[in-house]
Amino acid sequence: VLIITTAQVEGRPVEAYLGLAAGQALVGAHAVRDALANLKEVFSGRSHTYERMLERGRDHALEDLEDAARDLGADAVIGVSLAYSAVGPHGGMLMVSASGTAVKLAA
Q: Where exactly are the structural domains of the chain?
A: 2-105
Average per-residue pLDDT in the chain? 87
Residue 73: what are its φ and ψ, rounded to 5°?
80, 25
Q: Which residue has the higher pLDDT, 27 or 69?
A: 69
Please tell me the predicted confidence (pLDDT) of residue 33: 57
Sign of CA dihedral 86, 92, 98, 99: negative
- Identify the band that residue 53 occupies on the pLDDT scale cut at 50, 70 and 90: confident
- Asked: is 2-105 a CATH 2.30.30.100 domain? The reply is no
* CA of residue 26 relative to chain centroid, distance: 11
Q: Say whether 32 sits in a helix, a strand or coil.
A: helix
10 Å Cβ neighbour count for 17? 12
* 37 has a pLDDT exceeding 60: no
- What is the distance, to the nearest Å, from the Cα of residue 3 to the centroid of all Cα atoms in its chain? 10
Residue 29 reports pLDDT greater than 70: no
pLDDT value at residue 87? 86
List the beta bridge partners of residue 103: 17, 76
Distance of CA 29 to CAs 40, 52, 67, 83, 93, Å? 22, 15, 24, 18, 5
Mean pLDDT of 4-8: 97
Q: What percent of the chain has pLDDT over 70?
A: 80
Query: Hey, which bits of 14-92 come out as E strands?
Result: 14-27, 76-87
| pTM given for the model | 0.82
Q: What is the mean pLDDT of residues 18-32?
A: 84
**Can you give the pLDDT at residue 92?**
73
Residue 3, beta-bridge partner list? 77
